[in-house]
Amino acid sequence: MTLLPDLDTPMPLSDDVFARYREEGFVRVPGALAPATLRHHGAEITRLTLALNRQDKPLAERSTYDRAFLQVMNLWRQSAQVQQFVFGQRLAGMAARLLGVKRVRLYHDQSLYKEPSGGITPAHADQYYWPLASDRTITVWIPLQSTPLEMGPLEFYRGSHRLAIGRDLAISDESEAQISAAMAAHGFPVDRAAYALGDVSFHAGWTFHRAGPNHTSQPRSVMTMIYMDADMRVAEPVNDMQRADLAQWLPGLRPHDVAASAINPVLFAEA
């Protein structure tokens, strides 16, 4: 399988991109990948997501969380083609520069497939789930089709990575209500925008975000990669989700170890 060149070739970022990421906790990067690249790899990502997810209930019978999307993690271990996509140097290099580190590792990848009529993704911060010792983490969100507002693109609470309220909440109806209220009370506006095919966004581990429902007749298929500072240490888990993550995504490691299991490869190292 030929690696399409834009996955590995560097893409410069302007000073404005770095400033917005530091100030707002997220940034969208238009045209980060070629539409042809996303069509080529997106078909395989979507195929595997539908084949490997274990959801068998109709939408109407699911919880709020399960109506949000179908999800499968670490697809790179299921397909050489997906591994080429996940291991691409362009996005990993952007992540390292935004984090201000010389090297990044993969925590895990995650496909997110919001079905037609799929529900909201409740407000939350990703780092609630991760037994990691610092906030040197970043997620790239990559739509595999153009994503208008009615399809439920990712929305960010601008500047919310500075707010500690809500960091103890898992994705749920409770998190949607409490975090949305806290954001409004503290003046962190929600920032929503459509994504053209090829646009991606990066957000910090403690940036609060959500997504609306998919009001269209087409699925919203997305791939994400979570990167972390290559020198990240494992933290003592503080909730059941973190204990599960430690066993699944950092196998064989213990608190204070470098977060460098066999399934956490370095994806970018500054030359």
Q: What is the pLDDT of residues 172-217, one digit of tens each?
A: 999 999 999 999 999 999 999 999 999 999 999 999 999 999 999 9
pLDDT at 65 (0 to 100): 84
For residue 241, is it within any domain? yes
What is the pLDDT averaged over residues 223-251? 98
For residue 114, is it within any domain? yes
Q: Classify residue 100 as exposed, middle or buried by CB count within 10 Å of its CB (0-12, 13-18, 19+).
A: exposed
Domain of 140, CATH number, reads 2.60.120.620
pLDDT at residue 37 greater than cutoff 80: yes
For residue 271, is it within any domain? no
**pTM of the full structure:** 0.96
Percent with pLDDT over 70 in the chain: 99
* 25 close to 204: Cβ distance less than 8 angstroms: yes
pLDDT at 2 (0 to 100): 45
pLDDT at 3 (0 to 100): 47
For residue 12, is it within any domain? no
Please give the mean pLDDT across all residues of the chain.
Answer: 96
Q: What is the pLDDT of residues 110-156, one digit of tens each?
A: 999 999 999 999 999 999 999 999 999 999 999 999 999 999 999 99
For residue 8, is it within any domain? no
Reported as half-sphere exposure (CB side, CA atoms, 13 A), residue 223 has a value of 30
For residue 13, is it within any domain? no
Q: How confident is the model at residue 5 (pLDDT cuts 50, 70, 90)?
A: confident
pLDDT at residue 259 greater than cutoff 60: yes
Task: Compute the distance between CA of residue 247 and CA of residue 147 in angstroms, rounded to an integer.
Answer: 34
Q: What is the pLDDT of residues 41-55, one digit of tens each?
A: 999 999 999 999 989
pLDDT at 214 (0 to 100): 97
For residue 138, is it within any domain? yes
Q: What is the pLDDT of residues 55-91, one digit of tens each?
A: 989 898 998 888 888 999 999 999 999 999 999 999 9
For residue 186, is it within any domain? yes
Q: How confident is the model at residue 1 (pLDDT cuts 50, 70, 90)?
A: very low
- Per DSSP, helices labelled H in the chain are 15-24, 35-52, 64-68, 80-86, 89-99, 173-185, 240-249
Q: How confident is the model at residue 245 (pLDDT cuts 50, 70, 90)?
A: very high
* 221 close to 142: Cβ distance less than 8 angstroms: no
Please give the residue range of the domain that contains residue 180. Answer: 28-54+63-263
Number of domains observed in the structure of the chain: 1
